[in-house]
Every structure is written in C-alpha cells, then in structure tokens.
C-alpha cells in the first residue's frame, strides 16, 4: 500500500515567474520518497537498514533556494538530452543545430536552463505522481515542440521512473534522473565501503573533455570490469583511478533488465537498478568539493556519493554507431528505470 500526499515546498523567485513549488510524498512500508514539481527533483529518499531504521540516502537541500541556484543536478531530471553533446552541435535532416555551451566546450544536461530548472505541472496518481511539461520548439536550441511526461510510482520496495515524450520535429532526446546516493546516509563522508557491480561487457573511453572517443572498449582486464562486485575504495586504489564518470554499455533490448547493484555492508542496504535504457553513466561525485551546504548542514566532499544514470550513450547524436538518439514525429519515447531497495 502506497500513500501519496501533496505539500507546499516554496515559491519560485519573482524573476522566475513566482510559481508555487509542490512536494509529493510517496510512502510504502519500506520506502519514503519526496519529489518536487521543480525539476522533478527527488529531494529525499528514505530506506531501511538491516535493523529497520530509516535513513535518507540521497544528497540535496532542505529548502527550494538550494535547488534554484547552481548545484550539481542533485536529484533532478535532466533533458532534453542527458550527458554531453560535443561542442553543443548536431545535425538533423541536413540542418545543423547549435546548443548552449555549459561544460568546457560541450553542452551538458540540456543546456543553460534544462528540464532540471523549470516548473512542471503535476497530477497525483494512486501510487505516485506524474509530471508534464511542453518544451517549446527552439528551447535551448533543440528542434520541435516536445511533450514530456515523467511518472514516479512506488510499490513496496520499488521506485519506478517512467519517461515518455512526443515531438513535432525530429529531435535528439535522452532523459535520466541525476540522484546522488550514499547508502550509509546522505552526509556520510565517502562511498569507498560500498560494493558495486554493473552488468556491462563494454564501456566508452572519453577524451579530456569527457566526450566519448567513439571506441566501444571491452571491460575485460581493466578497472572498468565491474561485472563482479568490487569494494569501491579499494578498486579505485588498485587501478589508480580518480573516480568514475563513464558510460557503461548495457545489453541491448527494450525489456526490463537488472543492470547494476550496490551493497553497503555496514548498514545492509542494497540498491538494484533495472532499466530499459541502453546505457548507464556511473559517476562517483568526482567534482563534489565540500563547498555546498546540504540537508541538515551536511557537506558533500569528493566521492561522498555515486550516481547511476540510466540513459542513452553520451554524444550519441553525433556517433552513428551508437544507439539511436533521435525521436521522430509520430513516435513515442518511452523508457523506464526501476530502483529496488532491500537489505542483505
């Protein structure tokens, strides 16, 4: 049985239109999640440890102000295209489009004002909430009026996030949720004691601006082989890695499949990621620097959280041998990711 309740969370600044931001609280016996109508942000996610104690396992802020200023996409839905597009350029039907450059020479997570920085309209469901917005033709340089629905539903230990979209012109699209997790509880110092596995035989090497080189590299015999669980801190040391910020290439297919699992032995918390998406970006919070004041006054230093962002491969719109990144008029974009929380 899931209960859903709506509360006021704050009001947008006057220069942003002054609209009211709502918070939706979804609760089952084992999971409690709070989601905002601003950016579809997961602002709290509480799960049980092996002793039955709830803790909040996602990074974020106590108030709306934290989310309306620059932050590293804590809990947000990012789009129209998640991850990086090289030089912010792509071509569709022979026409070149230029996006806003916001990450070195590249366009990241939808541009200057992506889906994470806007108010969505909301509809309460029996076991969740559905958000909707129309991304107008030309927004951030992207073609076509894009209708987008993001639906969060909670059933027992499973939080599902479904993304649907329809467009009036051919456009690239890749939507994901950018939650930062720490299964020890948000505000914990690092994630080195987490054990992680990712069901991927290959990954995408990147250049020095984090754009995939185009090579699809086998994980076998490298530090990117996470097919068996590894303890993160020891693994980074063993392979002299400064952290992960890479796309892992998942087994292709439209069906739900288990793609990643994280286990935190001290608390017994586990998290499984299931998805229909072709890729998953594993990011270890390399750019967190402790400067942000998070929930309960917590600071978030480097490697104090991880992200497992299910999505299309980065820069796929410019790489013909990557999975298709384009949505055409008359088609529907429809992907789902499921997060399953347990204890071991």
Q: Which residues are annotated as a binding site for beta-D-galactose?
A: 83-84, 178-180, 245
Q: Is 259 left (phi over 0), alpha (psi -120 to 50) or beta?
A: alpha
Which of the following is catalytic: 34, 303, 309, 335?
A: 309
Binding site, by residue number, is 83-84, 178-180, 245
In 3-state terms, the chain is what percent helix, strand and coil (to 5)? Answer: 10, 45, 45
The residues near 297 (Cβ < 8 Å, ≥ 6 apart) are: none
Is 199 assigned a catalytic role?
Answer: no
**Count of CB atoms within 10 A of residue 341's CB?**
22
Contact between 151 and 125 under an 8 Å Cβ cutoff? The reply is yes
Which of the following is catalytic: 34, 46, 109, 178?
A: 178
The residues near 165 (Cβ < 8 Å, ≥ 6 apart) are: 146, 147, 148, 149, 173, 175, 327, 332, 333
Is 71 assigned a catalytic role?
Answer: no
User: Distances in Å between the alpha carbon of 229 and those of 193, 261, 322?
Assistant: 12, 8, 27
Catalytic residues: 178, 309
């Amino acid at each position: 049985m899931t209960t859903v309740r709506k509360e006021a969370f704050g009001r947008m600044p006057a220069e942003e239109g002054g609209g009211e931001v709502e918070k939706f609280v979804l609760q089952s016996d084992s999971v409690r999640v709070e989601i905002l109508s601003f950016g579809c942000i997961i602002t709290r996610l509480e799960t049980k440890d092996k002793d039955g104690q709830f803790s909040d396992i996602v990074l974020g802020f106590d108030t709306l102000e934290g989310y309306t200023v620059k932050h590293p996409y804590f809990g947000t839905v990012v789009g129209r295209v998640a991850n990086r597009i090289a030089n912010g350029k792509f071509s569709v039907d022979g026409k070149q489009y230029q996006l806003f450059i916001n990450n070195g020479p590249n366009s990241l997570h939808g541009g200057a004002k992506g889906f994470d920085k806007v108010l969505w309209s909301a509809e309460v469901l029996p076991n969740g909430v559905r958000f909707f917005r129309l991304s107008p033709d030309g927004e951030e340089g992207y073609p076509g009026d894009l209708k987008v629905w993001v639906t969060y539903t909670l059933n027992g230990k499973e939080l599902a996030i479904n993304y649907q979209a329809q467009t009036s012109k051919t456009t690239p699209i890749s939507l994901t949720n950018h939650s930062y997790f720490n299964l020890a509880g948000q505000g914990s110092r690092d994630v080195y004691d987490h054990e992680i596995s990712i069901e991927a035989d290959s990954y995408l090497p990147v250049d020095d601006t984090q754009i995939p080189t185009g090579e699809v590299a086998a994980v076998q015999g490298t530090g990117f082989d996470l097919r068996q669980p590894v303890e993160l801190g020891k693994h980074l040391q063993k392979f002299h890695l400064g952290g992960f910020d890479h796309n892992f290439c998942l087994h292709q297919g439209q069906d739900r499949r288990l793609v990643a699992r994280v286990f935190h032995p001290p608390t017994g918390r586990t998290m499984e990621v299931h998805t229909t998406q072709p890729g998953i970006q594993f990011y270890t919070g390399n750019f967190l620097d402790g400067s942000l004041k998070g929930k309960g006054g917590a600071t978030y230093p480097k490697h104090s959280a991880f992200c497992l962002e299910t999505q299309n491969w980065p820069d796929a719109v410019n790489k013909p041998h990557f999975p298709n990144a384009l949505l055409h008029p008359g088609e529907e974009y429809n992907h789902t990711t499921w997060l399953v929380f347990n204890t071991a």
